[in-house]
Amino acid sequence: MCMCLITGLMVRTIKCITLVFLFVIKGHVWDAGARDGVAVGSGRRASLDGARAMAIRDKIFKAAKGMRGRAKSCVKIARNRVEKAWQYQYRDRRNKKRDWRALWITRINAATREHGVKYGEFINALARENVCVDRKILAELAVNEPHSFKALVDRVRFMRGHDA
């Protein structure tokens, strides 16, 4: 079924029940049924897309703040640099835990060897005695509370059969 309107043409297809309006305004032809019933060129949908894109760009530029060169001002380069920075952050959050654990082990090893016990023997003996003190706390004791740490080492030496 076809009907002529004053400024355009309305076409109704019976199977799809689709309405397509073509309006001629200021010499331009707009399709009113193209996007969710919003006219292309009406500015409503396009402004939403533009606002969303600008929000994403602002997020990228905010994350790129402080970078050198075009990485802070050019969207394409900034996006690549920011994504790479996020990859480094993800990786290094795990590496940081690894590094701290290695530091704690080094501190505990140095402190136990001062008292004549090896690190592995010390940790193994603590585990056998069900002493639930983790490496972070042991390292803190070794550095800040040497007398308390010496008491733990003496306990381990006593368990090994040596004199305290």
Q: Render pLDDT for 85-103 as a digit per residue (tens, 0 to 9).
A: 999 999 999 999 999 999 9
The string of pLDDT tens digits covering residues 20-47 is 333 333 444 445 455 555 555 555 566 6
Picking from 145, 128, 147, 135, the residue whose alpha carbon sits closest to that of residue 107 is 135
Q: Which residue do the tokens 């509370």 mark?
A: 145
In the chain, the domains with their CATH numbers are 1-42 (no CATH), 97-160 (1.10.1900.20)
**Which of 94, 103, 99 shows the shortest CA–CA distance to 140?**
103
Q: At what angle do helices 75-114 and 44-63 cross, to 10 degrees?
A: 40
86: Cβ contacts below 8 Å, ≥ 6 apart: 63
Cβ neighbours of residue 68 under 8 Å, at least 6 residues apart? none
Q: How confident is the model at residue 164 (pLDDT cuts 50, 70, 90)?
A: very low
